[in-house]
Chain A
Amino acid sequence: MTRILMKGNEALAEAAVRAGCRAYFGYPITPQNEVGEYLSRRLPEAGGVFLQAESEVAAINMVYGAAGAGARVMTSTSSPGFSLMTEGLSYMIGARLPCLVVNVMRGGPGLGNIAPSQGDYFQVTRALGHGDVHGIVLAPSTLQELVDLVGLAFTLAERYRLPSVIGADGILGQMMEPVQLPEPIEPPPPPAWTTTGATGERRIISSIYLEPEELEQHVLGLMAVYDEIRAAEPRWEDDRVDDADVIVVACGTTARIARSAVDRARAEGLRVGLIRPITLWPFPTQAFRRAPRRWLVVEMNSGMMIEDVRLATGGQAPVEFYGRVGGVVPMPGEILEALRRVAAKEGVPA
């Protein structure tokens, strides 16, 4: 199969069109601008719709309208823009509308900078909006995986009628790698619940349930879907964990860097391994049944996924943290240093 050297944002955009996405609404923000630029040319060619919105607030609400009208639809943004989309995401979850939102995360808080970050981990896994909200969150670590997860993101969004989020970081958006693109598929016809004109029984898309008992039933229904997703969709990768005394937990780009550190630590004789969550929500709790002497969570943020690791491991071994913030990317040598420090601690055999 042919592999093509592509930039992450463009590979993502092309993968979306090939996955049957026929509508994109977005607003410019670095470091994900190539997604919209690429789709402004590519989607009309494919018979789809590209529209640059006046804001991320408008963009996500255009996505709401198009999803409700039966389109396979997406938007992309970066951290400050994602904050603005959380209002619309809550309404989409409340109204059970599928879509793909890509967050190519950058340094924060506030305007921060345009360098790579994982600082929106809490926002994408716990705070997609107000209310009892969750959506499926996927974290690719290579461009090939990014391309492969786009199709899965649409499939899962439509299967569960909830938004899917791809949580990438600025490195994945900006770097180039060879990718093998999927065969193009046509989007499915609009499902029966979409508002395409009331030729039969009319359809209403809404997130309002004024009676508390009615809203409770609605949220209980959402919670049942969340449980179904938690049971069926966790995804992760392990690497050399069977005999590991210390297991590194990292996702996205950070996991690639951590893997280099694990290689070097193994070469020094340290028994270390790596768990890489691919779904950040649902968090792959099942991956944490092993009991190493210590865990080391490595993130490009102030320590967020570490809370999920603590919850998943239930305190059976200490959970240590190494992170860089502000858009600084950790080097393999720094993670190796952290591994050596953790391996030298009490309870880890020499």
Chain B
Amino acid sequence: MIQVAGRPRTLLDVPMHYCPGCTHGIIHRLVAEAIDKFGVRERTIGVACVGCSVLAYNYLDVDFQQAAHGRAPAVATGIKRVLPDRVVFTYQGDGDLASIGAAEILHAAARGERITVIYVNNGLYGMTGGQMAPTTLPGMKTTTTPSGRDVRVHGGPLRITEMLATLDGVAFAAREAVTSPARIHRARRAVEAAFRAQLDDRGLGIVELLSTCPVNWGLTPLDAIAWCEQHMLPAYPLGVMKDTSARLDARPSPGKEPVRAAA
């Protein structure tokens, strides 16, 4: 008998605290599948963020550290630098990564930290009750933009994955969505590629996953998926922005003379 479906080894069989229709569960599963696929569960350390996924360590059967808000890439840097043969990933929301933790993700990416970043974007702060995030769409109502996000007051959406993809230290950057089986399949490939970038010692791998927040969006789970397709996808185009897997030979040659700054 061939088993064609089942729970990934790394995904624990426990009830999740996420709201009905939330897509964190799907994304947790994609991370668990990638860890299983590469057979690295026993040498993987996850870093949980502050946000709805603060308790991610309850669901993924790997060693975990829980970081301060936005600081997961710095914590992951500390782990990876002292344990370079381990696999280290962060799991961060958009408030955590793109707002309070913008400096930490930017510099981890610039340094080319050999870590994998799973970045979940639902366009607002879910856990604290639906306030505006840097990723909130123009006109979108949140509890701190009751009349909708006014770009003249609050600025526009931060497409941080595009920004990070410009950095030399980033080996893989993609944005996908988990709003349909076909999209989830593409997202799975992107999550795997973001882990592969680390396993190949090429640099930082990041996948942004457009997610839904039915409760704070005020929509049913199905309507939230439709809203994500209709409004989030045009503002946040899907696809692979960078993938250095085809140019493994493009790495700087070792033993190069260090460049000395002029006195």
| A interface residue numbers (CB < 8 A to B) | 22-23, 25, 49, 51, 53-55, 57-59, 61-71, 73, 87-88, 91, 95, 195-199, 202-208
Whole-angstrom distance between the Cβ of B106 and the nearest chain A Cβ: 8
With A58-B74, A62-B77, A63-B78 known as contacts, the answer to whether A196 contacts B68 (CB < 8 A) is no
What mask results when residues 25 to 51 of chain B are scored 1 for a CB within 8 Å of chain A, else 0?
000000000000000011111011000
Whole-angstrom distance between the Cβ of A86 and the nearest chain B Cβ: 11
Beta-carbon contact of A62 and B64 below 8 Å: no
With A197-B42, A197-B45, A204-B57 known as contacts, the answer to whether A64 contacts B81 (CB < 8 A) is no
The answer to the question of B238 belonging to the interface, with a C-beta cut-off of 8 Å to chain A, is no
Whole-angstrom distance between the Cβ of B178 and the nearest chain A Cβ: 26
Whole-angstrom distance between the Cβ of B260 and the nearest chain A Cβ: 14
Distance of A319 Cα from B43 Cα, bound (Å) = 58
Beta-carbon contact of B65 and A68 below 8 Å: yes
Residue of A nearest to B76 (CB): A65
The answer to the question of B219 belonging to the interface, with a C-beta cut-off of 8 Å to chain A, is no
Q: Which residues of B contact A197 (CB under 8 A)?
A: 42-45, 62-63, 83, 86
Beta-carbon contact of B42 and A61 below 8 Å: no
With A58-B107, A87-B68, A88-B68 known as contacts, the answer to whether A196 contacts B63 (CB < 8 A) is yes
Whole-angstrom distance between the Cβ of A33 and the nearest chain B Cβ: 16
Q: Which residues of B contact A53 (CB under 8 A)?
A: 74, 107
Whole-angstrom distance between the Cβ of A109 and the nearest chain B Cβ: 24
Beta-carbon contact of B104 and A61 below 8 Å: yes
Q: What are 5 inter-chain pairs, A to B, with CB distance below 8 A?
A: A23-B81, A49-B81, A62-B75, A202-B61, A204-B66
What mask results when residues 78 to 91 of chain B are scored 1 for a CB within 8 Å of chain A, else 0?
11111100100000
Beta-carbon contact of A204 and B81 below 8 Å: no
Q: Which residues of B contact A208 (CB under 8 A)?
A: 54-55, 66
Beta-carbon contact of A64 and B75 below 8 Å: yes
Chain B facing A: main interface SS: helix
Whole-angstrom distance between the Cβ of A236 and the nearest chain B Cβ: 34
Q: Which residues of B contact A49 (CB under 8 A)?
A: 81-82
Distance of A73 Cα from B78 Cα, bound (Å) = 10
Beta-carbon contact of B66 and A57 below 8 Å: no
Q: Which residues of A contact B43 (CB under 8 A)?
A: 197
Give the interface centre of A70, A195, A208 by most chain B CB atoms within 10 Å.
A195
Beta-carbon contact of A61 and B45 below 8 Å: no
Whole-angstrom distance between the Cβ of A348 and the nearest chain B Cβ: 51
Beta-carbon contact of B82 and A61 below 8 Å: no
Beta-carbon contact of B103 and A55 below 8 Å: yes
Residue of A nearest to B10 (CB): A198
6 more contacts with CB within 8 A, not counting A65-B47, A65-B79, A196-B63, are: A23-B81, A53-B74, A53-B107, A58-B104, A68-B79, A207-B66
Task: Identify B65's interface contact among A23, A51, A64, A87, CB under 8 A.
Answer: A64
With A66-B78, A197-B44 known as contacts, the answer to whether A61 contacts B71 (CB < 8 A) is yes
The answer to the question of B158 belonging to the interface, with a C-beta cut-off of 8 Å to chain A, is no
Q: Which residues of B contact A59 (CB under 8 A)?
A: 74
Beta-carbon contact of B42 and A199 below 8 Å: yes
Beta-carbon contact of A202 and B74 below 8 Å: no
Beta-carbon contact of B78 and A65 below 8 Å: yes
The answer to the question of B67 belonging to the interface, with a C-beta cut-off of 8 Å to chain A, is yes
Q: Which residues of B contact A95 (CB under 8 A)?
A: 65-66
Beta-carbon contact of B63 and A61 below 8 Å: no
Beta-carbon contact of B78 and A61 below 8 Å: yes
Give the interface centre of A22, A62, A65, A91 by most chain B CB atoms within 10 Å.
A65
Give the interface centre of B42, B54, B78 by most chain A CB atoms within 10 Å.
B78
Distance of A309 Cα from B88 Cα, bound (Å) = 48
Q: Which residues of B contact A64 (CB under 8 A)?
A: 65, 67-68, 71, 74-75, 78
Whole-angstrom distance between the Cβ of B100 and the nearest chain A Cβ: 10
Q: Which residues of A contact B80 (CB under 8 A)?
A: 65
Beta-carbon contact of B71 and A202 below 8 Å: no
Distance of A37 Cα from B142 Cα, bound (Å) = 47
Beta-carbon contact of B54 and A196 below 8 Å: no
Task: Identify A66's interface contact among B41, B66, B71, B81, CB under 8 A.
Answer: B81
With A62-B78, A64-B65, A71-B82 known as contacts, the answer to whether A195 contacts B45 (CB < 8 A) is yes
Q: Which residues of B contact A69 (CB under 8 A)?
A: 45, 78-79, 82-83, 86
Give the interface centre of B54, B57, B65 by most chain A CB atoms within 10 Å.
B65
Whole-angstrom distance between the Cβ of A81 and the nearest chain B Cβ: 15
